[in-house]
C-alpha cells in the first residue's frame, strides 16, 4: 500500500488524458464530416484524428485500465460486498467507456477511407456519451455509493440531451 497514492495519481492523470481524447475525437469527426468537400482541410483533420486516437487515447486508456487494476489488486476491499457495490457500477460504466473508445477507432477508420455514413449531428450527439458516463463514474467514486435513482436520472437526462443534439438541424 506504500505506493497506492502514487498509482492513484498516475491513474487520475491517465483518465484525464483518455477523457481528453474521448471528448475531442468526435468533434474532429464533426469537422471532418461537415467539410468533406475541402480535401486539404480533411487531410489535416485525418492526421489530427490519427494522432489523437493512436498516440494519446489508446495509451491513456491502457494506462487507466492497468493502473486501475493494480489499485484493485492492492485494495481488494473495493470489490467486496461490504464496499457497497459502487466499484462494480464504476467498472461497468468504465467498460462502456472502453467500448466507446474502440468505437471511435472504428469511425476513424471509416472516415480515413472517406466513408461518410454518419452525419455531423450524429457525431455531435455521440460526443455527449463520454460526459454522461464520466458523470456516473465520478458520482460513484466521490460518494462511494451506488444509487439507482442517480443512475436512472443521469441516463434519462443524458438520453434526452443526446436526442436533442441529434435532432437539431444540420449546419450548412
**Is 88 annotated as ligand-binding?**
no
Q: What angle do CA 140, 21, 41 make, to 5 degrees?
A: 150
Distance set, CA 135 to CA 110, 131, 144, 148 (Å): 29, 6, 14, 14
Instruction: Give the three-state DSSP class for 95.
Output: helix
Residue 39 lies inside a defined structural domain of this protein: yes
Predicted pLDDT at 41: 97
Residue 172 lies inside a defined structural domain of this protein: no
pLDDT digits (tens, 9 = 90+) for 1-47: 789 999 999 999 999 999 999 999 999 999 999 999 999 999 999 99
Q: How far apart are CA 60 and CA 53, in angstroms?
A: 10
Domain count, the chain: 1
Q: How far apart are CA 32 and CA 120, in angstroms?
A: 8
**Is 11 annotated as ligand-binding?**
yes
pLDDT digits (tens, 9 = 90+) for 50-87: 999 999 999 999 999 999 999 999 999 999 988 889 99
Q: Span 124-136, mean pLDDT? A: 97
Instruction: Give the three-state DSSP class for 19.
Output: helix
pLDDT digits (tens, 9 = 90+) for 137-151: 999 999 999 999 999
Residue 137 lies inside a defined structural domain of this protein: yes
Amino acid at each position: 500500500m506504500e505506493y497506492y497514492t502514487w498509482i492513484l495519481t498516475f491513474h487520475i492523470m491517465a483518465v484525464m488524458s483518455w477523457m481528453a481524447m474521448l471528448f475531442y475525437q468526435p468533434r474532429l469527426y464533426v469537422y471532418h464530416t461537415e467539410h468533406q468537400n475541402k480535401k486539404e482541410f480533411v487531410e489535416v483533420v485525418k492526421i489530427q484524428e490519427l494522432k489523437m486516437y493512436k498516440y494519446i487515447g489508446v495509451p491513456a486508456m491502457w494506462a487507466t485500465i492497468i493502473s486501475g487494476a493494480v489499485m484493485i489488486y492492492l485494495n481488494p476491499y473495493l470489490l467486496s460486498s461490504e464496499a457497497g457495490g459502487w466499484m462494480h457500477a464504476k467498472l461497468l460504466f468504465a467498460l462502456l467507456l472502453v467500448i466507446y473508445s474502440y468505437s471511435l477507432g472504428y469511425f476513424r477508420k471509416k472516415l480515413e477511407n472517406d466513408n461518410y455514413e454518419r452525419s455531423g449531428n450524429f457525431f455531435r450527439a455521440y460526443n455527449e456519451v463520454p460526459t454522461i458516463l464520466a458523470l456516473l463514474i465520478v458520482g460513484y467514486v466521490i460518494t462511494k455509493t451506488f444509487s439507482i435513482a442517480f443512475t436512472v436520472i443521469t441516463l434519462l437526462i443524458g438520453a434526452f440531451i443526446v436526442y436533442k443534439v441529434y435532432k437539431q438541424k444540420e449546419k450548412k
